[in-house]
Amino acid sequence: MLQPFVKRDLKVVVIGGGTGSFTLLSSLKDHTSSIVALVNMADDGGSTGTLRDELGVLPPGDVRQCLVALSRTPEMRDVFSYRFEDGAGLKGHAFGNLFLTALEKMTGDFAKGIELASRVLNIVGSVEPMTLTNVRLTAKLSDELELKGEHTISESNFAGAKPDIKLEASDGGDVEFNPRAIAAIEQADMVVVAPGNLYSSLAPALVVPGVGQALANTKAVRVYVANLVTKPGQTDNYDVCALTDEVERFGGHKFIDAVLFNTEKPSDSLLKKYAKEGELSVEFDTDALEAAPYLAVGVNLLSNQVWQNSSSSDPIASSRTLIRHDPNIVASSLMDLYQYVVSTDLKQ
């Protein structure tokens, strides 16, 4: 039995973007005051995609979600999350996306814009892009088929293939890591790979050059929080081990020390509802997990609250699963897992 653990200055890094990171960060900030959210920079759909196309800015959407999750000011969280329902030019845009875009255009520096927004939102910790290069995500399924763009990849059926995921710089140059992101990984006590879309949320964060090596070298406890459900056409039949294998493939190293996974299936009524879309509960093989080179910790991580998208103008959000991790249970479990790994010298 893992024992409750709280360490206010524990240095925690969360890697991912979007809803998965939002869920973890919203509760982790109650357990430690030293958090760095590292965000993938491949988003090109919805409001973010429009702003990238029309203004040539870096993608604000996932950064905004992480800032909102870490904010200590409820009123500002609501303002940044507000999405315009009307207006030919504004419909579908989140205010926070527009605010970050304005700061980037004003300062000429996206990272500086994030710092300014962080002050406005009064956040715990910090938010860092994995790269400040303007990138596009690509997924090579075969010699004849290569998909381009995060949104396209997210909506595609891979027909059982495990794609080669890469990032391309929009100017044809090299994709460069953000030095502050690498430094955060190197200095962390615990690095958490958040749940999320495997190929369009986690992969574009982990394939940034230099990130995998930093994850392999860091002395931090490295944890992956496994997804609750499969993604139709991409992770069908993937169990906890298969998901973890893909995360490590993206990083190019066997770097995971521990996996936190869900042991409770969603209710029959929820599964029946999502079976129409092909979403199924992620299964786990106890024997395979016991034989794995990492510690596998199973907990009932399922939230009793069904997430609902309140904005009809955000079709991307409305297409995502409504089944969610319980953020409080996940955060508490991560703290306890860290203490267990350290106290038993499993990192040695």
Query: What does residue 325 show for φ and ψ, rounded to 5 degrees?
Result: -70, 150
From the list 231, 221, 230, 286, the residue with the least C-alpha distance to 258 is 221
Burial readout 204-237 (b: 16 or more C-beta within 10 A, e: otherwise): bbbbbebbbbbbeebebbbbbbbbbbbbeebbee
Greatest Cα-to-Cα distance within the chain, rounded to the nearest angstrom: 59
R_g (Cα) of the chain, nearest Å: 19
Question: Nearest 5 degrees, angle CA 112-CA 214-CA 221?
Answer: 105
pTM of this structure: 0.92
Predicted pLDDT of residue 90: 86
Which of the two residues, 312 and 186, has the higher pLDDT score? Answer: 186
Q: Please give the Cα distance from 42 to 200 (Å, whole number).
A: 8
From the list 112, 96, 98, 95, the residue with the least C-alpha distance to 54 is 98
Predicted pLDDT of residue 314: 42
Q: Check pLDDT > 50 for residue 310.
A: no
Q: Check pLDDT > 80 for residue 71.
A: yes
Per-residue tokens: 191: 């690095």
19-31 per-position pLDDT tens digit: 899 999 999 999 9
Predicted pLDDT of residue 312: 41
Predicted pLDDT of residue 273: 67
* Residue indicated by tokens 């958490």: 192
96-142 per-position pLDDT tens digit: 999 999 999 999 999 999 999 999 999 999 999 999 999 999 999 99
* Mean pLDDT (the chain, rounded): 90
Predicted pLDDT of residue 207: 98
Q: Please give the Cα distance from 289 to 40 (Å, whole number).
A: 28
Predicted pLDDT of residue 318: 41
What are the distances in angstroms from CA 7 to CA 33, 120, 306?
9, 26, 30
Predicted pLDDT of residue 275: 52
CATH homologous superfamily of 17-343 equals CofD-like domains (3.40.50.10680)
> Is residue 195 within 8 Å of 14, Cβ to Cβ?
no
Element (DSSP H or E) covering residue 166 = strand 164-169
> Is residue 101 within 8 Å of 56, Cβ to Cβ?
no
Q: Which residues, 6+ apart, have CB-to-CB distance to 96 below 8 Å? A: 60, 64, 67, 68, 79, 80, 81, 82, 117
Q: Check pLDDT > 70 for residue 3.
A: no
**DSSP code, position 167:** E
Which of the two residues, 35 and 86, has the higher pLDDT score? Answer: 35
Q: How does residue 154 score in pLDDT terms, banded at 50, 70 and 90?
A: very high
Q: Please give the Cα distance from 64 to 18 (Å, whole number).
A: 9
Q: Check pLDDT > 70 for residue 339.
A: yes
Q: Please give the Cα distance from 225 to 59 (Å, whole number).
A: 24
Which sequence spans correspond to the domains of the chain?
17-343
Per-residue tokens: 4: 């409750």
